Copies of this chain bind each other. A is one copy, B any other.
């Protein structure tokens, strides 16, 4: 969360903000006073999601736009799309994203993307979806990986008291600190610096592990690092 001289927060854009995780983040961040721009491939769906978010969080500031327009106003862009659409989405944003923007990738290469199981992952040539995002993003756009282990359903259930960690991977401390500020804006979430972006190879599959634990225990699990 970034604040200008007047203490007003800069807007955050959530590409894929109509999806379950993106929408849950929109609700929680909006409730924290951060203006949210919801991006979608479809402008009508973006508007509809902004409307729904405003109903859920009347104090929030929500607008909806097509992805390419949505990203232009935000210093931080959260990319929260299914792995199936990640590459296409980034191609479509090639001329919209600008140098010095921070792209927070929450993509998980679940095998479900190719009609496999959600408890299995695909091998991504670059090592992880986040590294694919870094390769595809325009020059000067830095990618940080985060938000893979937080349940979309629990984020959207605003009565639920969160109490878990968000694992953050990225190559620059300064970028990770900005994402940590975002995480800290959401009550009950704690940011944990997991190291360079390549560690997303280990963090992204945790979504599949959590899905496996959820199925076995009929819960909505998350992760917490002990000893910190």
Chain A interface (Cβ < 8 Å from any Cβ of B) = 119-121, 151, 154, 163-164, 167, 192-195, 198-199, 201-203, 205-206, 208-210, 212-213, 215-217, 219-228
Q: Collect the chain B residues with CB atoms within 8 Å of residue A212's CB.
A: 194-195, 199
Q: Is the CB of B221 within 8 A of A226?
A: yes
Indicate whether A223 sits within 8 Å of B221 (C-beta atoms), given known contacts A194-B212, A194-B213, A206-B202: no
- Knowing that A119-B199, A202-B208 touch, tell me 13 more A-B residue pairs with CB under 8 angstroms: A120-B198, A151-B227, A163-B226, A164-B227, A193-B217, A194-B209, A194-B213, A202-B209, A220-B227, A221-B225, A221-B227, A222-B227, A224-B225
Q: Collect the chain B residues with CB atoms within 8 Å of residue A121's CB.
A: 202
Copies of this subunit = 2
State the Cβ distance, A127 to closest chain B Cβ, in Å: 10
Q: Collect the chain B residues with CB atoms within 8 Å of residue A213's CB.
A: 192-195, 225, 228
Q: Is the CB of A209 within 8 A of B217?
A: no
State the Cβ distance, A122 to closest chain B Cβ, in Å: 12
Q: Is the CB of A221 within 8 A of B228?
A: yes
Q: Is the CB of A226 within 8 A of B224?
A: yes
The residue on B at minimum CB distance from A165 is B226
State the Cβ distance, A28 to closest chain B Cβ, in Å: 16
28 A-B residue pairs with Cβ-Cβ distance under 8 Å, sorted by A, are: A119-B199, A120-B198, A121-B202, A163-B226, A164-B226, A164-B227, A192-B213, A193-B213, A193-B216, A194-B216, A195-B209, A195-B212, A195-B216, A199-B209, A199-B212, A202-B205, A202-B208, A202-B209, A203-B209, A210-B225, A219-B227, A220-B227, A221-B227, A221-B228, A222-B227, A223-B224, A223-B225, A224-B225
